[in-house]
Structure 1
Amino acid sequence: MTVKKALCSSELATLWMTYQQKTMTQRILEYFIEKADDEEAKHILVDTHTNVKEYVGRLTSLFEEEGCVIPAGFNEEDVNPGVPKLFDHHFDIVFLRQLKAISMGLHTLHLNMSYRKNLIILYKGLTGFTQSVYEKCMDYLREKDVLPGPPAVTLPKSIEFAQSPNYMDGFNIFSDKRALNTVEVAYLYFGIESNTLGMQMMTGFAQVANESEVKKYFIKGKELSKKIVSDYSKVLLESDVQAPSTSGARATDSTVAPFSDKLMMYCTSLFTNFGLGSNALGTAFSLRSDLPVKLASTAKDILAYGHDGGKIMAKNGWMEQPPSMEDRNKLFK
């Protein structure tokens, strides 16, 4: 008879993180479904909610089978679907697309951190489901002409290699900076697009937050997103590349909270950590020397903002602690 291996620390950690994210997603989708004003969008939201709810059930069963306490996560008290609409049409699908972009990376990472067969199967299923939802969101947003799309480029007709170390220059005041390459444009564009969404999300959250400290934090986040959009757009324009813009997916004038401050703070933390990770990738793959410096400065601001958010969450009792390793010093006493 084969004895089932107990969860190792990384597996417990990834299950805990997945439960937090999925219960948050479940609550947000409940609000979006209630306020959906487009049948096609509502179908995507309902289908996604059904699957997310099923995965929350599977995660709950896993914790129970292992004799592990079920995390608190987020419940019905964290959402109020009956309040006025906080975001304009299309925001729901724009937001869901970004959430699924985050999830795709997390599920792949968590699969690589899993050793038990049943957990590998779980994350493979989550990855496929998440990719499917992302594709549906992209199809919908393209059809509605909401996403502007990255800038066009003349396709290369030959292979080129850098002929000089000057290719890396970005600070030399006696020579012109080279034009951005497409890899650099891709990461700058992605940063602008995600922070444009972040700016609208923070605007809405700031309007409805109950605690004054939380409200100020969201306003600070809105200004940080605005600064990143402005700084990255300026870099693109210096290479005669038009920055993206969209007229949809904005916050309304509602001041009634559809979500608890706890949920909005966690959501902001999730998006902040994702921004930090994508910023690090942009830094690693940017070859013009001025860009990593600019991106590193942005990363410092994002990190400080995330740290401030963590302190607010801990102060208000909203930061659920991940399972800890044994404190041997305490046990010795």
Structure 2
Amino acid sequence: MTKSTHIPLSASELSNLWMTYQHQTMQMRFLEHFLEHAEDDEINEMLKKSYDSCGETVDRIINFFHLDGAVIPVGFTERDFIKGTPKLFDFLYEVMFLHMISKIGTSLFSLYSTMSYRQDIRKFYRELTSTYQMEFDLSAQFLLEKGVLARPPYVTMPQKVSFVEDTNYLSGLNIFKEKRSLNTVELSLIHHAIETNLTGMQLMMGFAQVARDEKVKEYFVKGMKLSKEVETTLGEYLRRDYIEPPATHAGKATNSTTPPFSDKIMMYITSLLSTFGLGSHALGGAFSLRSDLPLTMAKLAQQIFSFAKEGGEIMIKNGWMEEPPQVEDRQQLTKPGR
């Protein structure tokens, strides 16, 4: 794109690049800790590829900002990662983390692609989405082969097409009526929510052990309990249909109390997971046809929203929340002397 034909970044493109910069610099700091302790060659290769990809992405975003005269965000730097600290998470958690973060990245960056209008930005997010899909594929296959990732249950294949003929199909709130079994759409959304919360719960446990600030430590304990409540509440829907909820024996927090990360970066990724959780519950409620499920999803989403709001207040109080680019204040433009 030559200077004469340069199209400025739109508000959505600027904001998405800004958020991607935050995401990528955060991920690099976590990968640095995991790479310090990676003993398996295959895991080390996965982590290194992801780290290098994040670095290349950050450089490309900096170039976009330079071309449009935008200030480079702070994001997360070497000050947010402490080298030489003990391993915070045990057996295969680094791959579980990569699996979780690649889910988030695939969702976010495919969305950002559809919000972009400049050809080079669309291409950038298309390539980034492809990278995260590949990381998801590699991490999922690795965890499946190690017996760590629980597959969703198998069901009998449908032999005929059916249409709903009774409005009782939508019921679920009436305690005097027997609830129908979950359909596969509802089951898959519940399984996904539980699987993500299992990884998030271990993250909260590790963070609670190493947080320096007492309020932050208490916040992570709340996050751990909230993840457990989500897993228990949604798992009960599966158990009622004699389906065992997903679980894993891997990725537990170690007994280390030495922080490898700043409280700032731990709060940020918690905020990111909370936002992703809100989206997942909104999706789950929207596509669930049994009336009790959307209500449960909405109640859980309200708790997650309150948790996220409290986290935002903690971050602002401590000066950890970097402000996104602002729309120009038009009221200032109308004041005398402008």
Residue 36 of structure 1 corresponds to which residue in structure 2? 38
The 8 Å contact of residues 96 and 137 in structure 1, kept in 2 or not, is answered as: yes
- CA distance, structure 1, for counterparts of residue 130 and residue 63 of structure 2: 21
2:97 corresponds in structure 1 to: 95
Tell me if 1:244 matches 2:212.
no
Q: What is the aligned partner in structure 2 of residue 278 from structure 1?
A: 280
Measured in 1, the distance between the counterparts of 2:174 and 2:208 equals 42
Q: Which residue of 2 aligns with 1:253?
A: 255
1:84 to 83, 86, 105: 86
Which of residues 221, 224, 236 in structure 2 aligns to 1:222? 224
Matched position secondary structure for 1:65: helix
Deviations 1:164-198, CA, capped at 9 Å, x for gaps: 00001102233210011111111111111111111
Opposite residue 163 of structure 2, the aligned amino acid is F
Matches within 5 A, 1:47-62: 47-62=49-64
Give the partner amino acid of 2:31: L
**Per-residue displacement from partner, 1:249-303 (whole Å, max 9, x unpaired)?**
1111100111100000000011110011011000000000111100100000001
Please, what is the CA RMSD of the aligned residues? 1.0
Preserved CA contact (<8 Å) 1:147 1:246? yes
Residue of 319, 322, 326 corresponding to 2:321: 319
TM-score, normalisation: structure 1:
0.98
Work out the CA distance in 2 between the residues paired with 1:239 and 1:65: 57
Could you say which residue in structure 2 is the equivalent of 1:291? 293
Indicate the residue corresponding to 1:144 in structure 2: 146
Q: Give the match's secondary structure for 2:5.
A: coil
Q: 4+ residue runs of structure 1 moved beyond 4 angstroms?
A: none
Does the 8 A contact of 1:202 with 1:219 survive in 2? Answer: yes
Deviations 1:79-112 (A, max 9, x none): 0131000001210011111101101111111111
Matched residues in 1 for 2:75 and 2:120: separation? Answer: 22
What secondary structure, in the 3-state scheme, does the structure 1 residue paired with 2:148 have?
coil
Kept in 2, the 8 Å contact 1:37–1:89? The answer is: no
- What is the distance in 2 between the residues matched to 1:167 and 1:195? 29
**Which residue number corresponds to residue 65 of structure 2?**
63
Distance 2:278 2:203 in 1: 17
Question: Is the partner of 2:157 in helix, strand or coil?
Answer: coil
Alignment match of 1:111 (pick from 110, 113, 117)? 113
Match of 1:205 in 2: 207
Aligned position for 2:123: 121
Where 1:130 maps in the other structure, the secondary structure is helix
> Could you report, residue by residue, the CA deviation over 1:49-68 in whole angstroms, capped at 9, with x for unpaired residues?
11111111111111112111
| 1:20 aligned residue | 22
Cα distance between partner residues in 1 of 2:40 and 2:73: 34
Task: Give the AA of the match of 1:159.
Answer: V
Are 1:305 and 2:307 counterparts? yes
Q: How many angstroms apart in 2 are the aligned matches of 1:258 and 1:208?
A: 8
8 Å CA contact 1:184, 1:282 repeated in 2? yes
**Pairing of 1:161-176 with structure 2 (within 5 A):** 161-176=163-178
CA–CA distance in 2 between the matches of 1:226 and 1:173? 25
Partners of 2:57 and 2:175 in 1: how far apart?
A: 56
Mapped to 1, the partners of 2:171 and 2:220 lie a distance apart of 37
1:41 maps to a residue whose letter is I
Once residues 143 and 203 of structure 2 are traced to their aligned partners in structure 1, the CA distance between those partners, rounded to angstroms, is: 18
Contact 1:272 1:302 in 2 (8 A): yes
In 1: Cα distance, 2:173 partner to 2:276 partner = 29
SS of aligned partner of 1:86: coil
**Any conservation in 2 of the 1:146–1:246 contact (CA below 8 Å)?**
yes
Provide the TM-score with structure 2 as the length reference. 0.97
CA distance in 1, matches of 2:176, 2:303: 30
Whole-Å separation in 2 of the counterparts to 1:296 and 1:188: 13
State the percentage of identical aligned residues: 46
